[in-house]
């Protein structure tokens, strides 16, 4: 991502703003709590763009959040081409339906849970892990905007209980977040209990989004990437499968009680 046009534009804009403010790299570094050499490395592309650095730069230079806004665009540019249409659908959605058989859905993950999930891929660097975590957290803004979509998620009980002692603190935090999210009027989380051993959803994760025009779009993921689904016949299948998995799940209140029981069982 670092050599993409948007990222290069951020560096050029940062340097222009700093020079216009008549600040040397050393002087600017002191104001943003970085060394002059670190400022130079950012401007030359030798150091990854840092969210904290750009936030401080925006404050010092009085940009009104310009640089951090541009960073979000750079991160969006860095997404795989197949995923970009889905990000747009996600931002515009009026309703969303998500079934996840193996993980907590991304829009409901805590930062620590997201980081643990992303770190399971040992082929990516620590900087890339943090970039992906930041992007995932930014995506969650759709659920806290002034007109959020109705979001309904179905997860497996086994996902809530998949932990060892080393991760119980992380999972307790994550389940507490799910419970708090469930109390919001536009978010419903339903758990398929462990005794439901076989159902059609186990073939894989899928998410559906409904736009203000009334049309649906779907998204599937696999080990090498994913695909956006927009053909009517395929969407009809996903909508039917959504009804099937939702019917296997507990009610909203029963699901909250089960989540509370899971956390209590660890103590």
Mean per-residue pLDDT over the chain, rounded: 88
Lowest-pLDDT choice from 78-82, 86-90, 109-113, 199-203: 78-82
- For residues 164 and 79, give the distance between their C-alpha atoms in angstroms, rounded to a whole number: 32
What per-residue confidence (pLDDT) applies to 153?
97
What per-residue confidence (pLDDT) applies to 81?
60
pLDDT in tens, 149-196: 999 999 999 999 987 777 888 999 999 999 999 999 999 999 999 988
pLDDT in tens, 109-142: 999 999 999 999 888 888 888 888 988 888 898 9
Residue ranges of domains in the chain, CATH in brackets: 5-77 (1.10.260.40), 83-265 (3.30.870)
For residue 100, the surrounding DSSP H or E stretch is strand 95-100
pLDDT in tens, 30-54: 999 889 988 998 888 877 777 788 8
pLDDT in tens, 196-235: 888 888 888 999 999 877 889 999 987 777 888 889 999 9
**pLDDT > 60? residue 2:** no
**pLDDT > 70? residue 3:** no
User: What is the rounded average pLDDT of the residues 241-256?
Assistant: 95
- For residues 208 and 235, give the distance between their C-alpha atoms in angstroms, rounded to a whole number: 8
Report how far apart, in Å, the C-alpha atoms of 179 and of each of 173, 182, 191 are: 10, 5, 12
- For residues 171 and 63, give the distance between their C-alpha atoms in angstroms, rounded to a whole number: 38
Q: Is residue 5 exposed (0-12), middle (13-18) or buried (19+ Cβ within 10 Å)?
A: exposed
């Amino acid at each position: 991502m670092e050599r993409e046009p948007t990222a290069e534009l951020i560096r050029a804009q940062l340097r222009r703003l700093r020079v216009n403010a008549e600040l040397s790299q050393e002087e600017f570094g002191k104001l943003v709590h970085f060394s002059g050499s670190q400022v130079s490395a950012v401007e030359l592309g030798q150091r990854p763009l840092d969210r904290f650095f750009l936030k401080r730069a925006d404050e010092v230079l009085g940009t009104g959040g310009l640089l951090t806004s541009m960073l979000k665009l750079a991160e969006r540019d860095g997404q795989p081409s197949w995923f970009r249409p889905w990000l747009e659908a996600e931002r515009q959605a009026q309703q969303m339906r998500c079934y996840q058989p193996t993980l907590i859905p991304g829009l409901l993950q805590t930062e620590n849970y997201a980081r643990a999930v992303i770190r399971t891929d040992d082929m990516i660097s620590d900087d890339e892990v943090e970039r992906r975590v930041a992007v995932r957290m930014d995506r969650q803004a759709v659920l806290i905007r002034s007109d959020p979509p109705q979001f309904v998620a179905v997860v497996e009980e086994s996902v809530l209980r998949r932990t060892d002692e080393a991760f119980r603190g992380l999972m307790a935090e994550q389940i507490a977040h799910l419970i708090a999210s469930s109390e919001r009027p536009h978010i419903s989380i339903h758990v398929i209990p462990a005794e439901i051993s076989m159902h059609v959803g186990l073939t894989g994760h899928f998410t559906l989004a409904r736009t203000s025009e009334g049309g649906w779009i779907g998204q599937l993921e696999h080990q090498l990437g994913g695909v956006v689904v927009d053909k009517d016949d395929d969407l009809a299948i996903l909508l039917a499968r959504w009804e099937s998995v939702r019917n296997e799940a507990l009610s909203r209140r029963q699901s909250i009680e089960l989540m509370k029981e899971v956390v209590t069982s660890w103590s």
